[in-house]
Structure 1
Amino acid sequence: MKNEPCIVKELKELEKLGRLKSLSKQAYGTPEGEKVINEKTKKLFNITKEKTIEQETFKSEKKFRNIFDSTSDFQLYLEKGIILDVNAAAIKLCGITKKDVIGKDISIFKIIFSEKDLKKHITAINNANNGLDVNDYETELKNKNDTNYVFLFSTDCIKEHEKIKGILVRGKDITQQQRAWQELVKLEEKYRILAETTADGVITIDPIGRLTYVNPAFEKMLETRKSQILDTLFRDYLSEESVYFFQQIFIDVRKKNEKKENVELELARNSGDNIPIEINIAPFRKEDQFTGMVCTIRDITERRRVEEELKKSEKLKTEFMNIAAHELKSPVTPIKGYLDLILQDEKTSKKVKDWAKVSLRNSERLLRLVDDILDVSRLDTDTMRFEMEKLLIVEILDEIVEDMKQPVESKGLKFITNIPRNLPSIFGDRYRLAQVFKNLLVNAIKFTDHGSISIKAIKNKDHILISITDTGIGISKNEIKKIFNKFYQAYTGHDRRNEGTGLGLFICNEILDKHKGKIWAESELGKGSTFYIELPYLNKNPTNTEK
């Protein structure tokens, strides 16, 4: 037979190992020998298979032994209540040797478990042995260093031939998890107290708009109990006008994951009346999924009432200022007219003319004061009218130069102008802008006794820069920061020879702000000041003008 030599060799090897009885030499090559050889070959294969299973089982046991010992969990294996194995983590926690534990019952661990917790273990092991379901349970554990831990234990039944052979007790250290949970509970309690005691309403809303939490302040606003509010749609408590607006905000917050602040809505009470509210909304997200919103709600009824009162007050103030201005102007206008006549009359004596000049100057000052007060009132109430139109800034500046040339030169000052003809157009109110330039030039004349006053303009990248410079008394660094404040006067000498209202520069600043422009000043005490005005121009340049 072709395979005979190989089989014979294997059988001889088994004979040497004592695994098979020796065969007579005559058996090899005979029919009887072949039969014997076939039987023993089958035995050989069975033995090889058993040996392979033994080796695999050994490897498997070794692997599970390594897992059993290397895990950080507390692990015990018991049969009939007796500990047959314990892992390294349990030994380390107990501070005893494996020899001290093997063959003992669970009570050996009384050194690390309290009597109460030990009873939990015994009950769990007994129930598991009896085939009952055992829920995971927590116990405290004190190690050899008197450090306290919290463990979560579970029991697993090890079965053999469908019967319970032993019990595996496993414990996981959840001390850090427990502490984190306790901190979370404390934090939650802290915020719950804040939410429960705040005067503002606090609510949470789920992804479809249902209320999942409401605090007492919100109950009070609605005049409805919490039990009737929870699990209902928040929009059901809004006025008809507010529902659509809130739905848009809800969708926006959900889509963009952004907070919305100071949103004004109306809450509809069961009694039928509506109350104005201000609501702040922030989204909740979990694992990048929208899970709802938290909202704080403030009753702004009182604020609305105060706002209405302020509006009425402002309206009354405006009406009063208009009446007062009219009543003040009415007698001053004819007085000013008669004073002009006295000054023009050749028969009037020099002494009377001097008195008339003083009276005229003060009447003009009174008229300017009335105009300034009216302007401030209009600016404060946002009722100043601006006739905005496309303007040639060159024309406005030329008119101002023409109007102010005589007052400047009559004081013995040099008037310097540098106004390019090709300046672009601007968008503004001719009268108000002229008011600004005139006010600045009047101030320059007032505070300059020697030297010059100049007005210049240049075109920059996106604006026109106009400067008005004088060689007057100047302004200190401390005062220059305050000159655009209402009622502030930079010059406060004891002689008060240059009296004013302290409103002119404030009005200039406000007018330029309405034109999206700027004004600022640079000055050196004793050397003079420069006021800069910046105005945006229109993109399309005007036709060049020649003067």
Structure 2
Amino acid sequence: MDSTFHSLEKIQPETLLSFNNPVFLSLFLTILILSIILIYYRFVVIPLRIKFIEEKQALQMQHTEMMALFSELSPDPVIRCDISGRILLSNESANDIFNKKILLGEYIENVFPIIKNFDIEKVIDYGLIKNFEHTVDGKHFQFVVAGVPKYNAIQIYGRDISQLKTTQQELKVALTKANASTKLKEEFLSRISHEIRSPLVSIQGYSELLKSQSDDFSPEYQSIFQSIENNSKRLYRTVELILNMSQVQTGSYESSFKEINIYNVVEKTFREFKSFAEESKLDFTFDSQVDTETSIFADEYSVSQIVVNLIDNAFKYTRKGSISVGLYKENQRVKIVIEDTGVGISEKYLNNLFQPFSQEYSGYTRPYDGTGLGLALVKSFIDLNEAKIEVDSEINRGAKFIVTFDELIKL
């Protein structure tokens, strides 16, 4: 310390402010650097920062103006509110809803009271979206409230749904009328079927009574009695067919799934058609390759109708030759095979085979009877039971229908 002091004492006054003086040199360089930094900050950094802030503000202003212009040009109402609910922006479409009232500065809860149920702060903080409907002077509007955390505001977008409401009301009225029409149709079919069934039961009963005493009559009368019985059965099946198709199409058919003995169903139906085969002079056979206790899980009535309509269809289109009914089992599946030597089906018609009221031969001069509903009902009942149907046929070479069910495996 003493040595340093003595060295400073040796410095002459004229050299104190000289660059040879290390202290003066250090102080001078420090002041110079600070001056340069201050000049750079004053004339470079500050102007750049000011320019950046101005550009940012200009962009924000441009964005705000564009949003305002977009809102103003929008044909739908647009409203923006701050966190307190005060309206900051309201386009002309929004003002028009309230008879050109200026909404700017109003509180949104006074305009739409339902918004009192919303927590505006929560909607903004979490960017939630709420929906509500509002009616003004008979017009219906749907509004979407969207929280915008970035601007600490909510944006409300609306659209006029008056036409939609009118259409909905018209559809409700149309649906009510359709339901009433469906109910009326069901009631009509129910009544008409009852009116037809009642005399048919009497006809069938008397024909069976006469048939039981047919030994006392000539072969000609026996044939007449048999024809009466067969045709009354066919008419009864036609009534059943129309009712079933109506129930399927209106969704009023009530199914009951359970374990059923498929052998009994097919064998019983075969016996019911034997008299038709005798009257038509057709070779009618039944070949079963399954156990008499073979079962499936299905709706019994619809399964029986599948078999009835396929056999009935075979009789309608077979004038000579044979009709065979087979019952087989393959890989835990039960197959019902109904094959005839009738007129057959053309390849181009196969795609329309299961369409309601569809027949390959149509018109008043068609050579074959039928409503065109039998196979359509078969397909509906096939789908109901999750079964499968295959058709193999050619014109003038007969037809083969194969219906496949899953066998019910008893543990």
Partner of 1:318: 186
> 1:187-219 CA distances to partner (integer Å, 9 max, x unpaired)?
6566x42x47xxxxx999999xxx999979999
Equivalences for residues 195-344 of structure 1 within 5 A: 195=76, 230-233=111-114, 284=146, 298-299=164-165, 300-341=168-209
Partner of 2:102: none
CA distance in 2, matches of 1:437, 1:68: 95
The alpha-carbon deviation at position 331 of structure 1 amounts to 2.6
> 1:476-502 CA distances to partner (integer Å, 9 max, x unpaired)?
344333233222224549874542222
Residues 229 and 285 of structure 1: CA distance in aligned 2, closer, same or farther (over 3 Å): closer
What amino acid is the match of 1:417? Answer: S
Unaligned segments of structure 2, at least 5 residues: 99-106, 119-125
What amino acid is the match of 1:374? Answer: L
Partner of 1:501: 371
Partner of 2:326: 454
Partner of 2:309: 439
Does the CA contact (< 8 Å) of 1:440 and 1:468 recur in 2?
A: no
Does the CA contact (< 8 Å) of 2:288 and 2:328 recur in 1?
A: yes
Partner of 2:359: 489
CA distance in 2, matches of 1:59, 1:485: 92
CA distance in 2, matches of 1:490, 1:302: 40
Are 1:430 and 2:264 matched, yes or no?
Answer: no
The alpha-carbon deviation at position 322 of structure 1 amounts to 1.6
Does the CA contact (< 8 Å) of 1:206 and 1:293 recur in 2?
A: no
Does the CA contact (< 8 Å) of 1:422 and 1:542 recur in 2?
A: no
CA distance in 2, matches of 1:441, 1:74: 95
Identity %: 19
Q: Which has the larger radius of gyration?
A: 1
CA distance in 1, matches of 2:287, 2:56: 95
CA distance in 1, matches of 2:61, 2:379: 63
Considering fraction of residues, name the structure with more helix.
Answer: 2
What amino acid is the match of 1:532? Answer: V
Residues 346 and 378 of structure 1: CA distance in aligned 2, closer, same or farther (over 3 Å): same
SS in 1 for 2:283: coil
CA distance in 2, matches of 1:425, 1:290: 66
CA distance in 2, matches of 1:235, 1:520: 62
SS in 2 for 1:489: coil
> 1:81-133 CA distances to partner (integer Å, 9 max, x unpaired)?
xxxxxxxxxxxxxxxxxxxxxxxxxxxxxxxxxxxxxxxxxxxxxxxxxxxxx
SS in 2 for 1:439: helix
Does the CA contact (< 8 Å) of 1:342 and 1:348 recur in 2?
A: no
> 1:20-58 CA distances to partner (integer Å, 9 max, x unpaired)?
xxxxxxxxx899635759956996423422223324543
Structure number with greater CO (CA < 8 Å, separation at least 6) is: 2
Partner of 1:386: 255
Are 1:419 and 2:290 matched, yes or no?
Answer: yes
Unaligned segments of structure 1, at least 5 residues: 8-28, 76-151, 155-169, 197-201, 220-225, 237-246, 248-254
CA distance in 1, matches of 2:134, 2:336: 58
SS in 1 for 2:10: helix
Residues 180 and 488 of structure 1: CA distance in aligned 2, closer, same or farther (over 3 Å): farther
What amino acid is the match of 1:314? Answer: T
Does the CA contact (< 8 Å) of 2:310 and 2:338 recur in 1?
A: no
> 1:513-537 CA distances to partner (integer Å, 9 max, x unpaired)?
444x2444333424533343456x7
What amino acid is the match of 2:374? Answer: G
The alpha-carbon deviation at position 391 of structure 1 amounts to 0.6
RMSD: 5.9
Partner of 1:167: none
Residues 283 and 338 of structure 1: CA distance in aligned 2, closer, same or farther (over 3 Å): farther
Equivalences for residues 89-168 of structure 1 within 5 A: 154=54
The alpha-carbon deviation at position 370 of structure 1 amounts to 1.5
Residues 350 and 488 of structure 1: CA distance in aligned 2, closer, same or farther (over 3 Å): same
Alignment: residue pair count: 377
Instruction: Report the TM-score when normalising by structure 1.
Output: 0.50
SS in 1 for 2:173: helix
The alpha-carbon deviation at position 404 of structure 1 amounts to 1.0
Q: Which of 19, 31, 36 is 1:53 aligned to?
A: 31
Partner of 2:103: none
Partner of 1:374: 243
CA distance in 2, matches of 1:481, 1:315: 32
Does the CA contact (< 8 Å) of 2:147 and 2:153 recur in 1?
A: yes
Residues 328 and 31 of structure 1: CA distance in aligned 2, closer, same or farther (over 3 Å): closer
CA distance in 1, matches of 2:82, 2:368: 69
Residues 34 and 437 of structure 1: CA distance in aligned 2, closer, same or farther (over 3 Å): same
What amino acid is the match of 2:181? Answer: S
My pick for the range that moved more, 325-334 or 524-533, is 524-533
CA distance in 2, matches of 1:415, 1:46: 129
What amino acid is the match of 1:312? Answer: A
Residues 532 and 215 of structure 1: CA distance in aligned 2, closer, same or farther (over 3 Å): farther
Partner of 1:115: none
Partner of 2:123: none
